[in-house]
Every structure is written in C-alpha cells, then in structure tokens.
Amino acid sequence: MSQNEVFDQLDVGGIVDLTGEDTARIHIAALRAAGEPGKNAAYQAERAAGLVTAFPPSLVRALHRYGNHGSVHNTLLVRGLLPDVAGLPPSPGTTTPAPLGPDVDAAALILLAVASQMGEPFTFASLYEGRLVQHVTPVPGQEDAQTSEGSDTVLAWHVEDAFTEARCDFFGLLCLRGEPAAQTLVAPARALALPAEVERVLREPRFVVEPDIAHGADPTPDLPVAAVLSGPPGDPEICFDAVYQRPADPADADAATALKALADAVDAAAVAHVLEPGELLIADNRRIVHGRTVFRPRYDGTDRWLLRTMVCASKREHRRRGASRALP
C-alpha cells in the first residue's frame, strides 16, 4: 500500500444519506436511552435494539438489502447518523477511557442499533477490556502499532481477528472526529485479479494466522491450518492478515508466493474513504480486507476518533456461544 496511491471512492450504490430530521430524531431517542440505568453489555445491546423504531424506512431497507446482497465493495456507508455535537469531549488518547458523557454514550448506542440490524453485536474478552463498543484513536507510544491505537505506520491489510473462526461477520466504524489524512482502505475479495494457480493454492488449507497483539496474545504453537479463500468464485470469502499470516509449512514456497501475489492483488483492488464525523462505515469482514493510511497524531484532543463494534450474523451461532457479548 502506498500512501500516495490514488484510489477510487466507494460506490454510490452503497451509500445512504439521512436527513437532518432523521438525525435529530435518532439522537434524541439515543440520549433518552443512554440515561436509563444499567451499564452491562447485554443491557446496552438491548437498549440499542429499541432505537430501531427511530430509524427512517430508507435506512432499514438499505441495511436489509446490504445484509442480503452486499454491495459493489461489500460495504455500506451511512452519512448523517450523528448531529454536530458542540460538547463532544476531547479525543481520549486511550482505547479504554473512563465514561465520556451522554453524547458519547448515545453515539455508542446508535452504532449498536445499526449493527443489530446485521446480527448480534459481540466482542472478545481479551480485546480492549471486553468492551462491546471500542474506541479507535491514536495512543501515545503506540504510533507504530498494528492495532486501533496506531497512526504513524500504515495499518496493513487484514480482516478482523483472522486467527479465529469466531471472528465477526460484519463490523462498523462510526466517526466522532475525523482526520483528513487517514484514509480507511477496503478491498473486496471478488475484485481480486488472481492467476488461477495462485487462487488454487489460496483455497487450500496451507496457512496459519497468529493472534494479533491487540488481544495481548503470545505466539501460539498449535495454530489451526486453513485456506485464505473459500466460497463461490464470483463472491468469495477471504481470511487474510498481511502481518500475522504465514504458510503452515515454512518450506512451502508456493504458499509464500501466493500470499505475496494476494497482497499485490489487494493493493490493486483497493478503494478508500476518509470518514467524516457522523458517518458510519459497515463492512463485511468475511468478504473484504481493510487497512488505513498513515496520519500524524497531535494529542491535543482533536485527533481522529472512531467507535467500533463487531457483529455475529447468525443468531443460532450467537446462542451456541451462550449469547455472550464477550467471547473468551
């Protein structure tokens, strides 16, 4: 990925615009819900689900259509989801801040409400204290980290939590405060131009992925061996991590070559979007890879600040996991 690359923008068919009236109605309902007692994750998700009654039909239909059919880039961008909030607190400078007030609580509930239309929000207990809604913001001392805390280094291509089959089906990024230099990059698997032999290798179980440092995990000796690509050729699923993935057999030169070819194909298929305040980007974690360009943090309270949540699309699978909002 080159910081100076010129990328196409997201397809307009995958964009939904809310009116000012829609935004205000959703925000008022979210502020009301944020003031209710009960702070655990299960109750947070339940409160958020009730906000759907404030959604305009156009948003509900767009979410339904996207969940069933995807989009050109397998993303959905919702614009105008939050009002301009003059009282938004400074960007926290940590991914595990103390409570930040009603406007941030309301934004988190709005994110969860939209996410609940795609499935069941969840996280991992090992990830940022098991918070159902995570903060994505630069953190001092973590500038080069390949996590939500980094900034000075390109966030390399990956799917969320590629090391586990329990990874999310969708994730959402809600922008509270933007950064013009920070491009969110996505590349849909079905747009990858791969030679037939490379695709054949990537569809075979010849690869492993280490848990990433965001989970605080040490290298694991017994990693499951899996394929990178699966599913129908016209709409494949992908499990790729440019940093933590490698051939299961260190001597497997064909697998190593295929990963390099895949990385080049992902670069060529990339599209970008600079998230603006009030925008929510939903992405299909099974069908796209994503990353982020370099930006320079200021640590003055005005840095880029997103909220993120993840979704399990199958209620049956969610129940099998004990309906847990934070998987062990």
pLDDT tens digits, one per residue of 44-101: 999 999 999 999 999 999 999 999 999 999 999 999 999 987 779 999 999 999 999 9
Summarised one tens digit per residue, pLDDT across range 212-234 is 888 876 666 689 999 999 999 99
Do residues 148 and 137 make contact, with C-beta atoms less than 8 angstroms apart? yes
8-state DSSP, 8: B
The answer to whether residue 257 is domain-embedded is no
* Closest alpha carbon to 105 in 177, 161, 30: 30
Summarised one tens digit per residue, pLDDT across range 254-312 is 999 999 999 999 999 999 999 999 999 999 999 999 999 999 999 999 999 999 999 99
* Closest alpha carbon to 295 in 157, 151, 139: 151
Amino acid letter, residue 220: T
The answer to whether residue 82 is domain-embedded is yes
The answer to whether residue 74 is domain-embedded is yes
The total number of residues written for the chain in this structure: 328
Scored b (16 or more CB within 10 A) or e, 113-148 reads bbbbbbbbbbbbebbbebbbbbbbbbbeebeebbbb
Structure tokens at 270: 């990339």
Burial of 193 (0-12, 13-18, 19+ CB in 10 A): exposed
39 versus 229: the higher-pLDDT residue is 229
- Torsions phi, psi for 49 (to 5 deg): -60, -30
User: What pLDDT is attached to residue 214?
Assistant: 84
The answer to whether residue 159 is domain-embedded is yes
The answer to whether residue 150 is domain-embedded is yes
The pTM assigned to this predicted structure is 0.95
Summarised one tens digit per residue, pLDDT across range 196-217 is 999 999 999 999 999 988 887 6
User: What pLDDT is attached to residue 4?
Assistant: 38
The answer to whether residue 70 is domain-embedded is yes
Q: What is the mean pLDDT of the chain?
A: 94
The answer to whether residue 233 is domain-embedded is no
* Closest alpha carbon to 258 in 193, 201, 203, 206: 201
On the question of pLDDT at 5 being above 60, the answer is no
User: What pLDDT is attached to residue 243?
Assistant: 96
User: What pLDDT is attached to residue 221?
Assistant: 66
Q: What is the CATH number of the domain that holds 70?
A: 3.60.130.10
The rounded Cα 13 to chain-centroid distance in angstroms is: 20
Into how many domains does the chain fold?
1
The answer to whether residue 85 is domain-embedded is yes
User: What pLDDT is attached to residue 219?
Assistant: 63
Rounded CA gap, 189 and 164, in Å? 19
Domain that includes residue 129, residue range:
12-188+273-327
Alpha helices (H) in the chain, listed in sequence order: 20-34, 41-49, 57-69, 102-115, 196-202, 253-269, 315-320
Structure tokens at 47: 């409160």
Summarised one tens digit per residue, pLDDT across range 91-132 is 999 999 999 999 999 999 999 999 999 999 999 999 999 999
User: What pLDDT is attached to residue 218?
Assistant: 65
* Closest alpha carbon to 289 in 257, 243, 233: 243
Do residues 223 and 208 make contact, with C-beta atoms less than 8 angstroms apart? yes
Query: What is the pLDDT confidence band of residue 164, given thresholds at 50, 70 and 90?
Result: very high
User: What pLDDT is attached to residue 220?
Assistant: 63
Alpha helices (H) in 98-178, listed in sequence order: 102-115
